Structure 1
Amino acid sequence: MKMIGKIGLGVIIVAVSALSIHAVQDAPTDANLEKKLVNDYNVYALPLPEKMDFAGESVPLHNPDIRERMDRELLVNTYWQSNGLLLFKRANKYFPQIEPLLKKYGLPDDFKYLAVAESGLEYQSSPAGASGIWHFMKGTGLEYGLEINDYVDERYNLEKATMVAAEYLKKSKEKFGSWTMAAASYNAGVGGMNKQINRQKETSYYDLLLNTETSRYVFRILALKEIMSNPQKYGFNFREKDLYTNIPTYTVKVDTPVEDWSEWVKPYGINYKILKLHNPWLRDTYLKNASGKEYFIEIPEKGYYQ
């Protein structure tokens, strides 16, 4: 995306296992191989839900073009089993953090699926330089007041990045008139959406002819919402203990320079790696802080990593 950063298709594709391939328990032989391929390898067309919505805004599934585009994303986002299961595991860890932040900053809950589409709920950086779970480009982060330098990158701070995402999306909603268009602008940028609106004289995402990335973007989010809201319907089977969970933490205030984080953490019974796992916004092994700015460091409760 131009404003926030593009994401490769691979990151956001979800998978479902049980609907796609029935595993063969007995090994095939030369004599029965062809028959087994026909009988045991089955890929199913998926029925579209009768109704779908994004943030309470209805998807016009009566339109044959919209049905085809939705069908494509539901299929594509269904048949990558390992990544799909990982998304469920990560969602159990991160959705309890993201959901109250969305509510706090005035965004509909459905936008958590936009975060899934952007980053797969990983603190990562794209080849284009978009970083964090919300995948901001550096320029956008700085424009919205995030601190980004060699020592601190608040694009990796979940609360601050969610606050900025909310500010951006609410401004886009005010400008374009719908949450659906706001989501599309997160991918194409406000300028990109304005250009197409002016050229085509249309104001609905579903009526605009957009570049391939943006034309698929909202449908991917809808597919993620549908699949992740209905795991058993789409063949996902897991136990509660299979999912990732949050480690309880407490905060420690830092308002001085830190010469060496690996030494700083020793009194807390952890190492630099664990510090970074809980504070991914720290970007180096030390901190320059001549201004005395206050930072709040998350420290895991004792007993989880020993």
Structure 2
Amino acid sequence: MKIFFALFFATAYTVAAQPQVPHKMQFAGMTLTIRDDARREIQKDVNALTQSPKHHNIKVERAKTYFPIIEKVFEEERVPDDFKYLVLQESALIADAISTSNAVGFWQFKDFTAVEMGLRVDKVIDERMNIVASSHAAARYMKKNNFYFNNWVYALQAYQMGAGGVLKSVPETEAGLRHMEITGSTYWYVKKFLAHKIAFEDVVKGKGQIQVL
């Protein structure tokens, strides 16, 4: 009986410790209202990101190492601090990560975009694997995208699909918005990002830890 209750309370603690998706949240100076269909979808991603305390805490420790560097770069570049969570989504802060589409490094740049953003990419040096240089490049890319939309949510979406793709689907009336609804039809990449922010924000700031007792 004692073993049963010990297992029960350990499981209950783990579930309770998982971050929950709010109805409203702040992102890059914007207020996002998250509708129930989107909340359910984002919560599934949050649960998946936190279901293994071991793997979650590995990413948390990487974030604690690299985030101060990224924060300094973003402050210099005047890019919202919230975008630092995107690097966890893109590469899990693994310097030499390579995607199936041959995007490389912390911020998962393809070679032509990396060069366009001022990075050196050749047989000797690949600055996509340098946290400082690549974070400056990521910030420049996000600022370039935001120039078109004056809306950081769409700048985030453009990070994955390109500004051209977003321009085709976004009404001009939504440029400059500071309040937005996140719904089930919101682009998946944006919802995935919000899941990463929710899953890691408090823990990285030292407000809790996902663990099994």
**Which TM-score bucket, shorter chain as reference?**
0.7 to 0.9
Residue 154 of structure 1, CA deviation:
1.5
1:140 is the counterpart of 2:113:
yes
Change (3 A) 1:161 1:205: farther
Question: 2:154 aligns to what?
Answer: 181
Cα distance in 2 between the residues matched to 1:154 and 1:25? 56
Contact 2:38 2:183 in 1 (8 A): no
Q: Structure with the greater relative contact order (CA < 8 A, sep ≥ 6): 1 or 2?
A: 2
Residue 86 of structure 1, CA deviation:
0.6
Question: 2:101 aligns to what?
Answer: 128
Cα distance in 1 between the residues matched to 2:184 and 2:148? 16
Residue 36 of structure 1, CA deviation:
9.9
Contact 1:184 1:218 in 2 (8 A): yes
Question: 2:191 aligns to what?
Answer: 219
Cα distance in 2 between the residues matched to 1:157 and 1:107? 19
Change (3 A) 1:37 1:103: closer
Contact 1:196 1:208 in 2 (8 A): no
Matches for 1:101-112 after TM superposition, within 5 Å: 101-112=73-84
| TM-score computed with the length of structure 1 as normaliser | 0.56
Contact 2:37 2:184 in 1 (8 A): no
Q: Return 5+ residue gaps in structure 1 as ranges.
A: 1-23, 29-34, 238-306
Aligned to 1:147, the other structure's residue is in SS state: coil
Question: 1:163 aligns to what?
Answer: 136
Contact 2:85 2:197 in 1 (8 A): yes
Contact 2:33 2:181 in 1 (8 A): no
Aligned partner (choices 25, 28, 48) of residue 52 of structure 1:
25
Deviations for 1:113-143, whole angstroms, at most 9, x for unmatched residues?
A: 0111111111022222111111101111122
Residue 41 of structure 1, CA deviation:
5.5
Aligned to 1:236, the other structure's residue is in SS state: coil
Matches for 1:139-288 after TM superposition, within 5 Å: 139-197=112-170, 206=182, 209=185, 215-231=187-203, 235-236=209-210
Contact 2:41 2:184 in 1 (8 A): no
Q: How many pairs does the alignment contain?
A: 200
Of stretches 45-54 and 106-115 in structure 1, the one that deviates more from structure 2 is 45-54
Cα distance in 2 between the residues matched to 1:36 and 1:153? 51
Residue 38 of structure 1, CA deviation:
8.2
| TM-score computed with the length of structure 2 as normaliser | 0.78
Aligned residue identity for 1:112: K
Deviations for 1:151-201, whole angstroms, at most 9, x for unmatched residues?
A: 111112222212221111111112122111111111122122223337xx9
Cα distance in 2 between the residues matched to 1:84 and 1:112? 16
Cα distance in 1 between the residues matched to 2:184 and 2:140? 24
Contact 1:115 1:133 in 2 (8 A): yes
Change (3 A) 1:98 1:209: same
Contact 1:87 1:121 in 2 (8 A): yes
Contact 1:125 1:132 in 2 (8 A): yes
